[in-house]
Amino acid sequence: MKKPITTTVILFSLFIIASCSSPTTKEDVKEEVTDVVETTKDYFETRKDKLKTDLNRSSEKLKDKMQNLEDKTEGKWNDLENEIKNISSELDNATEKTIDDIEKRISKLEKSMQD
């Protein structure tokens, strides 16, 4: 933000110094103002392009991280789902000893889900 202001001040200062040595016309002022506006416009255009590039780069990194987390979560969810199905099936055919084993496995699952 300070660069365009600084550039504008410098250009106007140069304009004033140059105008002291010769008469200033309306066209001279218009030309100097046009130059300042063009310089400022170029600066902001360059800045806008850089910000777009940075934003696109950050967006791609974020998408990659999200996909990575989604893949990890999907794998863990499938593992948990399969284990729950196995436990359910075993419960249907369980004896008292296997019920104790199944309860231990359920406790392990609960702990892993908390992690």
Q: Give the model's pLDDT for residue 102.
A: 79
Non-local (6+) Cβ contacts of 84 within 8 A are 109
What mean pLDDT comes out for the span 108-113?
83
User: Which pLDDT tens digit goes with each residue over 9-61?
Assistant: 777 676 666 666 667 678 877 888 888 888 888 888 999 999 999 999 999 99
1 has pLDDT over 60: no
Separation CA 112–CA 115 (nearest Å): 5
For residue range 70-95, list pLDDT tens digits in order: 888 877 888 888 888 888 777 776 67
Q: Looking at residues 90-104, what average pLDDT do you find?
A: 75
Q: How far is it, in rounded angstroms, from Cα 18 to Cα 24?
A: 9
22 DSSP assignment: S
Tell me the average pLDDT across 90-102: 73
Does position 115 have pLDDT exceeding 60, yes or no?
yes
2 has a pLDDT exceeding 80: no
In order of 16, 31, 35, the CA distances from 28 in angstroms are 11, 5, 11
Dihedral over Cα of 39, 41, 45, 48: its sign = positive
